[in-house]
Amino acid sequence: MAAAAVGVCANFEMMNRILDATGCPVPDSLHFVAGLLGITGHG
């Protein structure tokens, strides 16, 4: 069970790093989330 949890966490971290490195754009349909989080502009 612990090995499965570690695998999920590692996969999430890998995907997150790939998206950050490639500059993958956020779809327009999800921009409302930035407003909910109080994020303005481009980081």
- The pLDDT tens digits along the chain (43 residues) read 999 999 999 999 999 999 889 988 888 888 898 889 888 765 5
- pLDDT value, residue 41: 64
Tally of structural domains, the chain: 1
CB atoms < 10 A from the CB of 16, how many?
10
| Cα torsion angle, 31, 32, 35, 37, sign | negative
Question: 11 is in which domain, residue-wise?
Answer: 2-37
Asked, for residue 22, whether it belongs to a domain, the answer is yes
- pLDDT value, residue 34: 84
- pLDDT value, residue 38: 87
| Diameter of the chain measured on Cα atoms | 41
- pLDDT value, residue 23: 86
Asked, for residue 42, whether it belongs to a domain, the answer is no
Asked, for residue 43, whether it belongs to a domain, the answer is no
**Is 0.85 surpassed by the pTM of this model?**
no
